């Protein structure tokens, strides 16, 4: 019985696939995905190792980098190289490259900068143009960025503590800082309606709109970079009351915005740190100005501890346990951005009876062996542009594919069975 569909391309075309807008899908990296990092198939780990991941930010963003080092120490499969100064490392497939480097910032039109804040991402028009220039410079000078997002620090709550008129909708006073904003460094809220309360035209909408501009800049110019949204810190004793609650409102505003688009990506830094490895969420309560008790997320105590149960301030304000959770979620997110469907490679596929495809390369026929032990399967074939050429039900234990009508090249065959996926790159001669 012949099945006409091919043995398909390299879903290895990682950020090439991310670059294809039609294949984009909403990806949310929150506490629910932390443990799933261990399910990433080796193929997709290898794809992430081809990426430069750029997360410009201040001190809290260091937690992601520290966490990636810790994860590499725990499992050598998750190789990472981090540079904190100088010229970013060029392409390699040996390790994921992670940094906060930008080509310029608000104060510099060029040169490599390793200190970046809200004034460089969204509070003013110069920042937005310079960040676009950074994306252009890197993607046109052999430093293609696979993924980029803003590393929040205390921007949502610090410098200007809650004050001014109470927001009538949320029954909270706004806080935060906006260096180099049009009205200077002031408290800020969610949208234009809050300008009357804060005297500040900068709001969370300003951050969201700037991030969308970067996404569109990359799409319009054909850059492979996928820009993602982020939430911010949830630690700090000064954030256990009104400050923490208004910060949670801002985080939820970001989450709601992302949830309304089918192809946005969110790295939910806040949510990841509010849960322990045991799955327990930590919350606090604060009574708002309307007399209502409000519950909001706060960093779990476990995530303020190092791996040995102590705590050392190493520049990111959180413990190693929290940093490691961030790293695990980041790898999961990047594998999804590379093209992984999030399905684990089942144990069936890992044993000696795994599916076999031969000959490979082939000039006409590819034999499929050992399929009967998996039961009914679906096989999809993708071309080098990430287009699905065919999806076919397949139930035979030993059969073959006719690929004689395919052009010479590389294809990817995706097998789905029992809720898991298996990928095989096949070459047509």
- Per residue in 122-149, pLDDT tens? 999 999 999 999 999 999 999 999 999 9
Sign of the dihedral through C-alpha 388, 391, 397, 402: negative
Residue 311 within a domain: yes
pTM beyond cutoff 0.85: no
Say yes or no: 219 and 102 in one domain: yes
Percent of the chain with pLDDT over 70: 86
Considering the domain architecture, whether residues 74 and 187 belong to the same structural domain is answered as yes
**Would you state the pLDDT for residue 365?**
79
- What CATH number is given to the structural domain containing 208? 3.40.50.1110
Query: What is the average per-residue pLDDT within 99-106?
Result: 97
| Boundary residue ending a domain (316, 338, 360) | 338
pLDDT classification of 393: cutoffs 50, 70, 90:
confident
Look at residue 414 in the predicted model and tell me its pLDDT.
Answer: 77
In the structure, what pLDDT confidence band is assigned to residue 380 with cuts at 50, 70 and 90?
Answer: confident
Does residue 377 lie in a domain region? yes
Query: What's the pLDDT at 372?
Result: 57
Domain that holds residue 420: 2-10+345-428
Say what the pLDDT of residue 354 is. Answer: 58
pLDDT digits (tens, 9 = 90+) for 229-245: 999 999 999 999 999 99
Q: 306-347, pLDDT tens digit by residue?
A: 999 999 999 999 999 999 999 999 999 999 999 888 877 544
Element (H, E) at 65: helix 62-74
Indicate whether 382 belongs to any domain.
yes
108 plus 177 within the same structural domain: yes
54, pLDDT greater than 70 = yes
**Rounded Cα–Cα distance for residues 54 and 308 (Å):** 29
Indicate if 241 and 381 belong to the same structural domain: no
pLDDT of residue 13: 37
Q: Is residue 388 over pLDDT 70? A: yes
**Per-residue confidence (pLDDT) for residue 355, from 0 to 100:** 64
What's the rounded mean pLDDT across residues 371-388? Answer: 68
Q: What is the pLDDT of residue 178?
A: 98
Average pLDDT for 289-302: 98
Instruction: Give the integer Cα–Cα distance in Å for 346 and 420.
Output: 6
Domain assignment present for residue 80? The answer is: yes
Q: Are residues 170 and 290 in the same domain?
A: yes
Q: Same domain for 317 and 420?
A: no
Burial class (CB in 10 A: 0-12, 13-18, 19+), 159: middle
Q: What is the CATH number of the domain that holds 357?
A: 2.60.40.3080
Angle between helices 242-259 and 204-221 (to 10 degrees): 30
The model's pLDDT over 59-90, given as tens digits with 9 standing for 90+, comes to 999 999 999 999 999 999 999 999 999 999 99
Residues 240 and 354 in one domain: no
Query: Per the domain annotation, does 362 fall within a domain?
Result: yes
Say if residue 419 is exposed, middle or buried (CB neighbours under 10 Å; 0-12, 13-18, 19+): exposed
Q: Per the structure, how many domains does the chain have?
A: 2
Provide the pLDDT for residue 395: 64
pLDDT for residue 362 is more than 90:
no
How would residue 373 be classed by pLDDT, with cut points 50, 70 and 90?
Answer: low
For residues 330 and 384, state if they share a domain: no
Residue 197 — φ and ψ, nearest 5°?
-85, -35
Average pLDDT of the residues in 283-301: 98
């Amino acid at each position: 019985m012949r099945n006409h569909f091919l043995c398909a391309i390299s879903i290895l075309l990682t950020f090439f696939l991310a670059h294809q807008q039609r294949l984009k899908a909403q990806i949310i990296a929150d506490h629910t995905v932390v443990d799933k990092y261990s399910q990433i198939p080796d193929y997709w780990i290898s794809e992430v190792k081809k990426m430069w991941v750029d997360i410009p930010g201040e001190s809290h963003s260091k937690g992601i980098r520290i966490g990636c080092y810790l994860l590499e120490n725990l499992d050598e499969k998750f190789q990472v190289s981090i540079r904190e100064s100088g010229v970013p490392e060029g392409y390699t497939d040996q390790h994921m490259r992670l940094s906060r480097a930008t080509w310029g910032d608000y104060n510099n039109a060029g040169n490599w900068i390793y200190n970046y804040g809200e004034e460089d991402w969204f509070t003013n028009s110069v920042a937005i143009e310079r960040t676009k220039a950074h994306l252009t410079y890197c993607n046109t000078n052999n430093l293609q960025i696979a993924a980029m997002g803003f590393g929040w620090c205390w921007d949502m709550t610090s410098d200007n503590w809650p004050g001014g008129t109470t927001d009538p909708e949320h029954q909270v006073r706004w806080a935060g800082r906006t260096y180099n904003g049009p009205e200077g460094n002031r408290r800020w809220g969610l949208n234009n309606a809050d300008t009357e309360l804060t005297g500040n035209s900068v709001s969370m909408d300003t951050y969201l709109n700037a991030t969308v501009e970067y996404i569109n800049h990359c799409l319009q110019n054909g850059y492979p970079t996928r820009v993602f949204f982020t939430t911010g810190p949830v630690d700090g004793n000064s954030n256990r009351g009104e400050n923490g609650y208004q910060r949670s409102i801002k985080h939820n505003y970001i989450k709601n915005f992302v949830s309304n688009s089918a192809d946005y990506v969110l790295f939910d830094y806040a949510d990841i740190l509010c849960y322990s490895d045991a799955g327990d969420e930590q919350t606090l309560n604060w009574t708002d100005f309307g007399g209502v008790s409000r519950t909001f997320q706060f960093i779990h105590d476990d995530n303020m501890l190092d791996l040995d149960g102590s705590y050392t301030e190493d520049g990111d304000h959180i413990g190693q346990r929290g940093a490691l959770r961030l790293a695990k979620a980041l790898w999961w997110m990047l594998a999804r951005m590379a093209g992984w469907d999030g399905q684990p490679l089942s144990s069936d596929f890992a044993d000696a009876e795994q599916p076999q495809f031969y000959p490979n390369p082939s000039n006409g026929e590819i034999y499929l062996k050992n399929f009967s032990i998996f039961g009914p399967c679906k096989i999809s074939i993708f071309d080098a542009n990430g287009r699905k050429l065919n999806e076919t039900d397949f139930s035979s234990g030993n059969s073959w594919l006719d690929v004689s009508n395919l052009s010479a090249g590389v294809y990817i065959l995706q097998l789905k069975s029992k809720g898991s996926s298996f990928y095989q790159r096949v070459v047509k001669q």
